[in-house]
Amino acid sequence: MLKKWKKKRRKLLAIALATGVIVSGVNLDLTFASNANGNKTVVTQQSVSQQQVPQLVDAASINAVIAAMTVTEKAAMVVGANSVALDPVNGEIIGTQSRKVPGAAGQTQAIPRLGIPSIVLADGPMGVRINPTREGTDQTFYATKFPSPNVLASSWDTELVNKVGVATAAELKAYGIDLLLAPGMNIQSYLLNGRNYEYFSEDPLVTGTMTAEFVNGVEDNGVGTTIKHFAAYNQRTNNNGNMIISQRALREIYLKGFEIAVKESQPWAIMDSYNMINGTYATENKDLLTSVLREDWGFKGFAMTDWEFGARDIVKQIEAGTNLLMPGSLNQVNRIIAAVNDGSLDEKYLDRNIKEILNVVIETPTFKGHVATNTPDLEAGAKIARQAAADGMVLLKNEEKALPIAESVSVSLFGTPTIETMTGGRGSALVYAPYQIGIPEGLKDAGLTINEELLSKYETYVDELRASDEYKQTPGNFFVSTFPTLPEMDVTQDAIAAAESTDVGIIVLSSEFGTYGSDRSKEDFYLSESKLKMIDDVSKAYRAQGKPVIAVLNVEGPLETASWEDKVDGIVLSWQPGQELGNAVADILTGKVNPSGKLPQTFPVDYEELPYADRYPGENNEFTYEEDIYVGYRYNSTFGLKPAYEFGYGLSYTTFDYDNVRVNRNGSFKDKITVFATVENSGDITGREAVQVYVSAPDGKLEKPELELKAFTKTKELKPGKKENLKFELDLKELASFDEEKSAWVVEKGTYEVLVGASSEDIRGTTSFKVDKDILVETVNDVLEPQVEINTLSKFN
Ligand code: BGC
């Protein structure tokens, strides 16, 4: 019966295809045929009994559903229904779906006759990105703007990251969204990458672990995530460029985080990056999407393209294992149908890809009949956002216990970012939050007295500049973060007056950068002349009064600090941590929260001394990753480059002692090693400590970085004098390096130093263990080989 029906439907479709295929905006459960005069007649499903049409009900029904699909339906199923129509008037919205959730980045095709609903996909890395308003209603649709991944990673707190995932899931569900297009998890290997803040860390273990925690937090609540951008998407300049990378650097650095995330959290989806890897676009890359992702790692979800609007070879994409082409256009559907018809695309790949999509669809809230309430608990979100923002802030400097400051003190705020504070996110990472707390507001709410006269002077200064020709094209709007910062006001005189009348000077600094489509420039790493002068003026004035100056770094990535840091007594890296920024800054400055964040990315002294400074972002749409595995602190520790603030660094208002660092098995090794350490709060304020375990592996056939992070944890809240015994398990895979010749992970024989520390430079205890003979841990597919020779950095050259 089914066969007969299929035959009939095929015939009808063949006619439809011959006469113009699908009509934009028309439901796919209607089939068009033409009569001899060319007039279209609609053949509805009423002519075929519903009973005979298989319905998507569960995993067991998927094969029959796919077998019942027409080629047109199959093509439409692997192409997103474009909910962000490029052209709202003539835009190609395929299928009949309206934009189910306005402002959500995309949705899939529904095929109602087979019981397949359209699922909704929404960004992003700082919370749910949807339009805050909708036609025909006064209701607002705000979402919590959580801290970005780099801020979350700075907390070194996996439980917290999980909690942010749980809170995000609640908002996704409230708005009827099935899949979050986040978290971003590329490696922050290049300082100027304009999207680094969407990612967690320069280290793959931190990246993979944090991603897995976030994904589990979301997905344990029945909503999906999309880890992105797979892979080696480390710049905006050559967005579609060819990234040339050794197999070892890929496996150990650029793919490693994804591997951890897939194995530990099995995300529902993954997003292919725009770029090529060793000559093949990620999205057309079978080695990447099938050999590595599915065969080596066991990924069970589906892969979608980034929002590339049909720019790639569709047949290659589908064969490679890209399940869903986003955001989707009618043209893509037609190209697929044509490819099947002319034999260049085997339908079996469509079937496979659809099955992998449907496996996820049946898990979604939409499929399970969940109805959007559109009333997320924004108060609950705000509470978590505030905690996460404060826990992600990093105390970089605190001379003479300049911090915390008492709530009874008076402060003067300097710097235009005081008015135009950046809470983070642009482009696909934008979130329309119900409110955003600036620094003055946060400090006032905490009870501090603010120098209002200076504040209003800054307000006027900023307003006037934003009204001027030079700056008016840029919004100067607190809610929009794509604008260059303003030149600073001359405060020579104001600083003197302020230092006389207030107890503490606070300088808010941000870097110049802020556009979505580009990378930062080298200049963005350095503070402008007017900012440096402001620091100087404020510093002199307050020091003349014997009063402290604190800098708050309202930045999304590292900036130059070495040239001016001795002019201030305290530095708080607030980052751009979402809507609760001002409250969280107040929590840290007043000591309501004892800072416990540490850097997930190195702050270099000077951009020019970085190993890629003269090469990044490459030429002719191509960039070679010559520094290879020596990324971030792996480079610094191996080649002896002193950073301004090292990876893993961060101060607290208390101090911690480390003791009892040792390994089990009397220093010998079989398949696992357990590292022990005891951490004690040796100061007088309750606090938490992020504890890091590094390994220095012996050079064998493979050279090794001086240090590699192999485990980390965060202590619970320790009261003064309290201790916590910590235990870390390192298994073979974690200790292994990638041997390209064998295409295998190997642990080479020799002595392994274990270094337990408060940062990558502040090592508090060491121990070691021996591996007697080489161990082959895992052989993987020998793929992704560069097509050209790479002049890789080596410590032996
Ligand atoms: C970005 C993705 C994002 C997508 C949908 C793309 O331009 O690269 O990260 O998820 O748009 O908004």
Check residue 335 and give its pLDDT.
93
Pocket test for ligand 1, best of 129, 428, 431, 516 (most atoms within 8 A of CB): 428
> To the nearest whole percent, how much of the chain has pLDDT over 70?
88
Residue 704 Cα to ligand 1 midpoint, Å, equals 35
Sheet harboring 570-573: ordered strands across?
394-398, 570-573, 549-553, 504-509, 410-414, 449-450
569 Cβ closer than 6 Å to some ligand 1 atom: no
Concatenating the DSSP letter of every residue in 364-401 gives STTTTT----S---HHHHHHHHHHHHHHH-EEEEEGGG
306 Cβ closer than 6 Å to some ligand 1 atom: yes
How does strand 622-624 pair with strand 656-663?
unpaired
307 Cβ closer than 6 Å to some ligand 1 atom: yes
Residue range 234-243, pLDDT digits in tens: 999 999 999 9
Residue 307 Cα to ligand 1 midpoint, Å, equals 6
Give the H/E segment covering residue 725: strand 723-731
Q: Tokens for 484? A: 């260059």
Pocket test for ligand 1, best of 130, 180, 181 (most atoms within 8 A of CB): 181
Residue with the smallest CA separation from ligand 1 atom 9 is 428
Kindly compute the dihedral angle of the four CA atoms of residues 189, 190, 194, 197, in this order, to the nearest 10 degrees.
40
Residue 308 Cα to ligand 1 midpoint, Å, equals 9
Pocket test for ligand 1, best of 107, 123, 225, 233 (most atoms within 8 A of CB): 123
Residue 355 Cα to ligand 1 midpoint, Å, equals 24
pTM of the model: 0.92
Residue 49 Cα to ligand 1 midpoint, Å, equals 41
Residue with the smallest CA separation from ligand 1 atom 4 is 307
DSSP state of 102: T
Burial environment of residue 456 by CB neighbours within 10 A (0 to 12, 13 to 18, 19 or more): exposed
Residue 767 Cα to ligand 1 midpoint, Å, equals 45
Q: Is the pLDDT of residue 668 over 50?
A: yes
Residue with the smallest CA separation from ligand 1 atom 11 is 307
230 Cβ closer than 6 Å to some ligand 1 atom: no
123 Cβ closer than 6 Å to some ligand 1 atom: yes
Pocket test for ligand 1, best of 185, 307, 516 (most atoms within 8 A of CB): 307
105 Cβ closer than 6 Å to some ligand 1 atom: yes
Q: From the alpha carbon of 124, which atom of ligand 1 is closest?
A: 10
Residue with the smallest CA separation from ligand 1 atom 6 is 307
Residue with the smallest CA separation from ligand 1 atom 7 is 307
> To the nearest whole percent, how much of the chain has pLDDT over 90?
81
Residue 190 Cα to ligand 1 midpoint, Å, equals 20
31 Cβ closer than 6 Å to some ligand 1 atom: no
Check residue 752 and give its pLDDT.
95
Nearest CA to 25 among 74, 81, 73, 72? 81
323, 351 Cβ separation under 8 angstroms? no
Q: Tokens for 734? A: 């974690």
Band of pLDDT at residue 473, cut at 50, 70 and 90: low
Among 216-225, 361-370, 511-520, the minimum mean pLDDT is found in 511-520
Q: Is the pLDDT of residue 37 over 70?
A: no
Q: From the alpha carbon of 327, which atom of ligand 1 is closest?
A: 5
Q: Collect all residues with Cβ–Cβ distance below 8 Å to 99 and sequence separation of at least 6.
A: 83, 93, 107
Burial environment of residue 686 by CB neighbours within 10 A (0 to 12, 13 to 18, 19 or more): middle
Q: From the alpha carbon of 129, which atom of ligand 1 is closest?
A: 12
Band of pLDDT at residue 325, cut at 50, 70 and 90: very high
Residue range 220-274, pLDDT digits in tens: 999 999 999 999 999 999 999 999 999 999 999 999 999 999 999 999 999 999 9
Residue 703 Cα to ligand 1 midpoint, Å, equals 37
What radius of gyration, in Å, describes the C-alpha atoms of the chain? Answer: 28
242, 249, 515 from 194: Cα distances, Å: 18, 21, 8
Q: Is the pLDDT of residue 450 over 60?
A: yes
Q: Is the pLDDT of residue 103 over 70?
A: yes
Band of pLDDT at residue 28, cut at 50, 70 and 90: very low
356 Cβ closer than 6 Å to some ligand 1 atom: no
Cα(434)–Cα(324) distance, rounded to whole angstroms? Answer: 33
Active-site amino acid positions: 306
Check residue 99 and give its pLDDT.
67
Check residue 513 and give its pLDDT.
61
Cα(592)–Cα(240) distance, rounded to whole angstroms? Answer: 46
Check residue 310 and give its pLDDT.
80
Residue 429 Cα to ligand 1 midpoint, Å, equals 8
| For range 718-741, the mean pLDDT | 97
Cα(446)–Cα(507) distance, rounded to whole angstroms? Answer: 18
86, 262, 692, 753 from 732: Cα distances, Å: 49, 18, 18, 15
| For range 143-159, the mean pLDDT | 98
Cα(744)–Cα(252) distance, rounded to whole angstroms? Answer: 11
Nearest CA to 174 among 363, 370, 374, 369? 374
339 Cβ closer than 6 Å to some ligand 1 atom: no
Q: Tokens for 34? A: 């033409």
> What structural domains and CATH numbers belong to the chain?
118-361 (3.20.20.300), 393-600 (3.40.50.1700), 651-779 (2.60.40.10)
